[in-house]
Amino acid sequence: ETGVTQSPTHLIKTRGQQVTLRCSSQSGHNTVSWYQQALGQGPQFIFQYYREEENGRGNFPPRFSGLQFPNYSSELNVNALELDDSALYLCASSLSPEHNEQFFGPGTRLTVL
């Protein structure tokens, strides 16, 4: 059984640029959630994708957007990067939006200069 994978592992961008992060869900999981973990903080929910549509969103501006593909993999896009976007971005998958247990990937460390 393949776990949740994310790419890239690390990324350095400059302010104002755009970035795309990728996530492959665990085998059999159709629901993907994205979280932002700033330094010294717990992960914060950005949004969730289910059946290729956004299924719920946290308190993040519209420049954070996403996609889910038919194979359940997902992308997180961030436009107009700001310094405060520097964080570890975590992807988590679950069997369904109703299934309480989520499995996390290793994360992508984004640094914005």
Which residues of the chain form contacts with other proteins (CB under 8 A)?
Answer: 4, 31, 33, 35, 40-45, 48, 50, 55-56, 58, 90, 92, 94, 97-107
Residue 31: CB minimum distance to other proteins, A: 8
Residue 88: CB minimum distance to other proteins, A: 10
The tokens of 62 are what?
């519209």
* Residue linked to tokens 């085998």: 27
Q: CA angle, 98 as apex, 92 and 100 as ends, to 5°?
A: 55
Which helix (H) or strand (E) segment holds residue 19: the answer is strand 19-24
Strand order of the sheet with strand 74-78? 5-7, 19-24, 74-78, 64-68
**CB of 34 or CB of 81, closer to other proteins:** 34
Q: Left (φ > 0), alpha (ψ -120 to 50) or beta: where does 55 sit?
A: alpha
**CB of 4 or CB of 81, closer to other proteins:** 4
**CB of 81 or CB of 108, closer to other proteins:** 108
**CB of 90 or CB of 112, closer to other proteins:** 90
Residue 60: CB minimum distance to other proteins, A: 12
Residue 1: CB minimum distance to other proteins, A: 15
